[in-house]
Amino acid sequence: MKRVVITGRGVVSALGSDLSSLMEGLSGGKSAVKAMPDWEGYKGLRSLLGAPAELQNEKEIPRKARRSMGRISLFGVEAAEQAIRDGKVDETLLTSNRFGCVMGSTMGGAGDFLEAFSAILRNYDISELSSMSFFKCLSHTVTMNVAQYLGIKGYVMAASAACASSLQALGLGYELIRSGRQDALLCGGAEELHPIVTGTFDILYATSTHFNDTPSLSPRPFDKKRDGLVCGEGAGVLLLEEYDHAIHRDAPIYGEVIGYSTCGSGAHVSQSSREGMRSCMKDALKDAQLNPENVDYVSAHATATLQGDQAEAAAIADVFGDQVPVSSLKGYIGHTLGASGAIELAASLEMIAQSIIYPTLNLDNIDPQCNQIAHVREPLKRDITVVVKNCFAFGGINAVLIIRKLNN
Amino acid sequence: MDEEQLKKLVNEVFEESFETNTEHLKADAMIFEDIGLDSLDIVDLVVALQKKFKVQIRDDERIRNIRTLGDIYQFVINLKDEGHIPEA
C-alpha cells in the first residue's frame, strides 16, 4: 500500500476566505454566525441564523467558465485554486490523467434549484430556463465545475452523502492513491447557505430557534442549552498525494492520511446511531493500525442537535473514554454540511502545526448527557500527532478519517 | 418603440447576459466569432430576448439564420412589425 500525504489546503468559510482567516477566527474565539432577517419571508422557517461566507474576485473567472457555476461552485473553485497554489501544482501535473478530483456537497446548488423550479412552476413552462440551470443545480455541480475549470483529466467523481460528503471525498481520494490508481487528487466539498437548506433541517426540529436575537450564542455543541444546528457555507479542499510523488517534486507536506472508514448505521434516516458512529471510529482506527490511546484529538461532528451530540459523545466515550480531547468547530462557522469534513480537517492540520487544540465555542455548561468525554473548553497547548475527524450524516451515513503529523 | 429603441434593448441583452463590452456591439459583428458566444449561449440569448421583448421565439425558424448582431436587430424589428412585440 502506498502512503498518502496532504500537500495543499484551501478553505473558504464564514470566518474568511482562506485558511489563515479561519485559524485567526478560531484563535480569537470568534463566531461568524449572523442573523438572517431576509429569511423571514419564508413561512414556517423558525431558524433565522446563518454563517455566510463571502465570494472573492469571482468575476476574474472567465464568463464561459463562470456561467455554469452557482454560488456553491464558486466557493469550491476558490478553495481548489488555493489548494493548488498552496501545493505548488504545475499545469503538467494538474492536467495529467494521474491527477483527479473528488468533491462533495449535500444537494448541489440550492439557490439555483429554487430559481430553476420557480421559473418552471410559474406557468409549468420550461421555456424560461437558462441553458445553465441544469449545470448550476446538479448534485455534482461542484465537482464538475472544479474539474472543468482546472482542466482535470484524471479520476473525477462527486460524493453526495449530506454532512459526510467531503470526508467521503477525502476517503475515496485516500483509497485511490493508496491503491496506486492516482498520484494526486483534489478532494473536499462545498456548500452554500440558503433558507431552503436551513429549512430542510428546520422542518425536522433540528435547527437552532431560540437564539435569533443573539446569533453568536448559537450553535452550542454539547452545551446544556443547545437547541439545534446553524447552517454555514464555504468550501474546503485538500490536495492528497502519494508520498514519494510529493517528495520527488518537493511539495510541502502538511500531514499524512493514515486511516479511513465509512459505513451505514442501518438504523434510521435521521436519528444518530451511537453504534454506527462507534463502529465507524473503530474501523478507522483499525485501518490506521492504531489504538484509541494513540489519538491526541477528536474533531467531533457535533452540530448542536439534541440527539446527535448526545449519541456522538456516547460513541466517542465508548471508543476513547474520557482522556482524548474533543472539540467541535460548529460554534465558530456553523455547520458547513457537505464541506464541513474538509474545512475542519484543514483546521485540524493547522492545529497540529501550531500544537494547539481550539475549544468548542459556546460550550458554557456541558450537558450531563454529553459529559463522559474530555471536552476542550479553553485553547489547549500540546503536541498533537494523531487527529480523528468525524462526520455523521443524515441517511445514517458515517465517515471517519484519521491524519497524523508526518512521520518520516 | 422605434428601431433605435429596439436595437438598444438588444444591446442590453448582450451586456446583461453575456457581459459584452459596448464597443463590440456593432451591427456587422459576428455573434460567434466576434462577440464570442457559443451554442449554449444561443439558448440563453433566446430566453433573454423572450424576457426583454415579452415574445415567444423559441420555435421561430428564423433564429437558425442569425449570424450577426444586425441579423438580431432585423429579427426583432420584424417581430415588432408583425405585431408580436407588445408596446411598452
Q: Which of A303, A328, A331 has the alpha carbon at shortest distance from A215?
A: A331
Say if B88 falls within a structural domain.
no
Within 132-151 of A, beta carbons closer than 8 Å to B belong to 132
Question: Is B19 an interface residue toward A (CB < 8 Å)?
Answer: yes
The span from the CA of A404 to the CA of A353, in Å, is 11
Please name the residue of chain A whose CA is at the shortest distance from the CA of residue B54: A128
* Other Cβ atoms closer than 10 A to B60: 14
**Cα separations (Å) of A44 from A53, A106, A179, A199?**
25, 22, 49, 8
Classified as helix, coil or strand, A3 is coil
A123 close to B (CB below 8 A): no
Domain residues for the domain of B21 are 3-81
CA distance A191 to A231: 9
Q: Is A64 on the interface with B (CB under 8 A)?
A: yes
ipTM here: 0.87
pLDDT in tens, chain A (408 residues): 999 999 999 999 999 999 999 999 999 999 999 999 999 999 999 999 999 999 998 999 999 999 999 999 999 999 999 999 999 999 999 999 999 999 999 999 999 999 999 999 999 998 889 999 999 999 999 999 999 999 999 999 999 999 999 999 999 999 999 999 999 999 999 999 999 999 999 999 999 999 999 999 999 999 999 999 999 999 999 999 999 999 999 999 999 999 999 999 888 888 889 999 999 999 999 999 999 999 999 999 999 999 999 999 999 999 999 999 999 999 999 999 999 999 999 999 999 999 999 999 999 999 999 999 999 999 999 999 999 999 999 889 999 999 999 865
**Residue A278 corresponds to which amino acid?**
R
Tell me the helix, strand and coil percentages in chain A, rounded to 5: 40, 20, 40
Round to the nearest angstrom and report the end-to-end CA distance of chain B: 7
- Range 65-84 of A in CB contact (< 8 A) with B: 67
Per the CB < 8 Å rule, is B56 touching A127? yes
Is position B86 within any domain? no
Listed in sequence order, the residues at least 6 apart from A406 whose beta carbon sits closer than 8 Å to its beta carbon are: A5, A253, A254, A255, A256
List chain A residues with CB under 8 Å of B16: none
Q: Answer for the pair A51, A230: CB distance below 8 angstroms, yes or no.
A: yes
Q: How far is it, in rounded angstroms, from Cα B66 to Cα B72? A: 6
Distance (Å) from the alpha carbon of A62 to chain B's nearest alpha carbon: 10
Place of cell 468547530: A329
CA gap A292, A286 in Å, rounded: 10
Which residues 28-57 of B have a C-beta within 8 angstroms of A?
36, 38, 40-41, 43-44, 47, 50-51, 56
Structural domains in chain A?
Answer: 4-248 (3.40.47.10), 260-404 (3.40.47.10)
Which residues of chain B make contact with A62, given a CB cutoff of 8 A? none
Q: Answer whether B37's CB lies under 8 Å from B25's CB.
A: no
Q: At what angle do helices B69-81 and B3-18 cross, to 10 degrees?
A: 130
Q: What angle do CA A70, A75, A77 make, to 5 degrees?
A: 95
Judge whether B36 lies within some domain. yes
Contact of A127 with chain B, judged by CB distance below 8 Å, is answered with yes
Q: Is A130 on the interface with B (CB under 8 A)?
A: yes
Q: What would you report as the CA-atom Rg of chain B, rounded to the nearest whole angstrom?
A: 12
Our count of domains for chain B comes to 1
Measured in angstroms, the CA of A194 and the nearest CA of chain B are apart by: 24
Q: Could you give the residue numbers annotated as active site of A?
A: 163, 301, 335
Q: DSSP for chain B? A: --HHHHHHHHHHHHHHHH---GGG--TT-BTTTTT---HHHHHHHHHHHHHHHT---TT-GGGGG--BHHHHHHHHHHHHHTT-SPP-
Strands A49-50 and A297-299: unpaired
Query: What CATH code is carried by the domain that includes residue B26?
Result: 1.10.1200.10
